[in-house]
Structure 1
Amino acid sequence: MLSRACGRLASVLRRTLAPPSEVARRRLHASGSRPLADRSERAEEPPRTFDPALLEFLVCPLSKKPLRYEASTNELINEELGIAYPIIDGIPNMIPQAARMIHQSKKQEEMEQR
């Protein structure tokens, strides 16, 4: 069962990875030897999007519970803890310090009504 899950994760990751030519361009850019013509191509590239198939493998690092993808805010949501992890260039930032609190106003309203 574990090997099947690892195989599925590998196939999802292969689909989300940039093609080798893009990786080579990034390395050239990092070394500073990228021609000016290639710099204009980068502006035309669409932003990388999050692959929802990864939700099968990702869990909250704090509660170890499944996460929900919110496309409108481009975040992974943990409803139980009320936190949202940002997704930057298609890559979830699962560092708890980078997460933002959600539902604070709702919780405060509930407390005031009691």
Structure 2
Amino acid sequence: MLSATCLRLARALRRPRAPSAVVRRCLQVPGARSCADQSERTGQPGTFHPALLQFLVCPLSKKPLRYEASTNELINEELGIAYPIIDGIPNMIPQAARTTRQNKKQEEAEQH
């Protein structure tokens, strides 16, 4: 029984699949270039395209993010966290995010 399941899985993985609607939309972002085009023209493979921000939200708060080009991060102002972008791919895992502001006790001490 296990070998039959493995065989069906192997066949399913070999079948070509049409891209999902979300993937097709991302690929049709106005002014977006493929990674191959970007690496040939800019010399930097996989640079982040800010037009993707219309599709991305913070996984914790579900709020829009802001792209900070100087640090190459996606910023959530409300929570005070920044998600790194590595090789043009946002790392949206909350454990990978860094805090952008000091803790609340330090902020309150500075204000008084």
TM-score band w.r.t. shorter chain: 0.5 to 0.7
The Cα shift of 1:47 comes to 3.8
Contact 1:16 1:51 in 2 (8 A): no
Q: Any stretches of 5+ residues in structure 2 without a counterpart?
A: 1-20
Q: 1:6 to 1:91 in 2, by over 3 A?
A: closer
Q: Which residue of 1 aligns with 2:36?
A: 18
Quick check: which one's helix share is greater?
Answer: 1
Among 80, 94, 97, the residue aligned to 2:95: 97
Among 46, 49, 52, the residue aligned to 2:47: 49
Q: TM-score, normalised by structure 1?
A: 0.62
The Cα shift of 1:11 comes to 1.0
Among 77, 97, 110, the residue aligned to 1:79: 77
The one-letter code of the counterpart of 1:11 is Q
Give the count of matched residue pairs.
Answer: 87
Residue 36 of structure 2 aligns to a residue in which SS?
coil
Sequence identity (%): 69
The Cα shift of 1:61 comes to 0.3
Q: Which residue of 2 aligns with 1:33?
A: none
In the alignment, the residues of structure 2 paired with residue 102 and residue 75 of structure 1 have an alpha-carbon distance, to the nearest angstrom, of 11
Residue 84 of structure 1 aligns to a residue in which SS?
strand
Q: 1:89 to 1:64 in 2, by over 3 A?
A: same
Q: TM-score, normalised by structure 2?
A: 0.63
Q: Any stretches of 5+ residues in structure 1 without a counterpart?
A: 23-44
